[in-house]
Structure 1
Amino acid sequence: MAISLFRLIAILSRKEMKMDINRVLSSVIIGIVIFLGAAGSVQASDMNYSVQANIPANQLDKTKTYFDLRMKPREKETISLTLKNKSGEVATILVEPNRATTNRNGVINYAASNEKRDNSLEVDFEQLISSKKEVKLAPNEEKKVDFTLQMPKRPFSGMVLGGFYVHKKEANTTRAGAKEVQVKNDFSYVIGVKLTESDEPVVPDLRLNEVKPGLENYRTMVSANIQNTSATIVSNLHIEAEVFRQGEEKAIHHVKRDNQAMAPNSNYDFIIPWDKAKLASGKYLLKLKADDGAGHKWDFRKGLLIREKDRALNEEALLLPKERHSVLKSSLIVGGLFVGMISILTFFVIRSRKKSES
């Protein structure tokens, strides 16, 4: 949609309500027009294709459906996936090899990431594997897709973790020379790849990096960057964080999270909500504790400085104390318009389909 619901609410909640409700209504109406123009081309992607890893002889655990390979330095190997198109139409499938990262929810991610490569990562899966492929499948066709693995010359400890992110390529269709907007779900498969050269255990090492104020979904918060500098997965992480004003003993913000996981040699921003309060300039102390399911424990303390310029984030934030009434009212208005827009869109889609069937 031309302008997101979060963005509309954020506009309404800014200090002194700089943009009035009439402009918001106009934006929503424009959104309705755009969606009505797209009513004839609303589609839902389906899983009419399948992906399977072809497990090679050097697989450590042959019960796994992902690659768990024991490799040697300098070794070169071809691994493959089998793609099958189960539909009666031509399908184009994208297969993208990616290094494993950790997303903001504390979940290991195998999709392409915009995050920079972690500075502790020495052996990068993306540099060991051949590049992504675009595979065209005829109706009901099955095809094997090969990738080449080239191990580095120097041996390494621990693991290299990556995966194949597989999804269907959706081409934008046109009718009578005019572009159509398509509304669809994007389903995907992930086939993991774990590479090891020995059974030598690696002790996980977590570090606390930058702590800074910011916004998450237009809510005030502080982010604490946690880094796993070891070549091993850290799983079943329990993290507890407390923020104190400097010199005080009572925590002003507190958060706990369970079942966090981190990919080898990766980092992510652990979010500490500011509990719908404004970011007030001053000095603070963060105390962060973490432990995993294997008995490893970490205890961090780090100072946080919120500067005068950081208070500008309050201008963009939602649900701050003095603005709650106006934001609630504006949210209800915009939310109602959004529901109305979806209802109108659904009506036109159903009517269009009935005309097509008749």
Structure 2
Amino acid sequence: MNLLLIGSEPVDYTIAFANGVAANMPVTLVAPRARFAALTEALDPAIDLILMDWPRHRSLANPAFLARLTRLIHQRKPDLIHLLSNTALWLNLAVPFWRPIPLLTTIHDTRLHPGDRDTATLPAWAPRLMVRQSRDVVVHGESLRDSAAATFHKPAERIHVLPHPAMPRYADLARAKGLARRAPDDSFTVLLFGRVFAYKGLDTLLRAEALLGERVPGLRIVVAGRGDDPMALRDLMGRPERYDIRHRFIEDPEVAQLFLDADLVVLPYHEASQSGVLPVAATFGKPVVVTDVGELRASVEPHGTGLVVAPNDPAQLADAIAQMAQDRDLLARCGARARAWADGVVGPEIVGAQAHQLYARILQRV
């Protein structure tokens, strides 16, 4: 089977997924030079990596880029093209020129998250058109299959579920650099990581911290990532001195250090499809507290990697954080299960093997 992957965003997902598939079959990956040139060591050497100059959405260089990409596809003659996200605007114009090669597209989010300014820059018709032009699509959970069918009006038999793979490159980086935990032994560090937009539930976390009072000695709350300014919600904080706010893009070594230092990773989301933070936390063996939105419960509860609480409920979140902090056996068990989940069920090679089987079924049907 001659497979061509096209991946621009999300970068960490693209790396983990391509590595997983490459462990099971030959893979060609086309990716943006600006994003991936410095990350080639994170990719399996078996991958045939083709870096291209990938213009921004508004660039007039896009037609020339699409022509180069289409020529490459005609030269390589893949049996199947797998587009690893449906959010690349200009690729919609090139898809008709790739036919009759079957196109499979991964949908990470079936609808726009509230306050997600990054994705909101993309015209609403663009991801829908890409799904419409794709023979088959992939989502990351059973509930998302139903959501995708309703949102994109795609036949259920054309919507397939592949788990979001674990993303071990930060844990690998920590080992390669010999990084170790720096947080004080008498502290309990809670990490909220990623793009801090309204749907991520930062306000719920701040209210939960205020409700905790002195129930968790040594409590530290680390909020790290770009997006909305957390200090705009300072009035919700119980004790502002507990907070370590890093409102910016976080470089890779700092990401690794943040997860090493965390005792608990929280995802207090108001709304979500799935999460890229969970597969990173699991590779570090970190327990989690998540809200019951999207696929978060289905990712956490069956595997015993943490606690699940109702969304928009600071009291429940505070109780869960306190329970984790006070029951170190529970904390350790959830952490061990998280690492086992990352190495097993959602290990990149395991997900890659499932993808290989899916490709074979699609081609057999074609």
Query: Which TM-score band applies after superposition, normalised by the shorter structure?
Result: under 0.3
Higher relative contact order (CA 8 A, sep 6+): 1
The structure with more strand, counted as a fraction of residues: 1
* Normalised TM-score (structure 1): 0.27
Work out which of the two has the higher radius of gyration on C-alpha atoms and give 1 or 2. Answer: 1
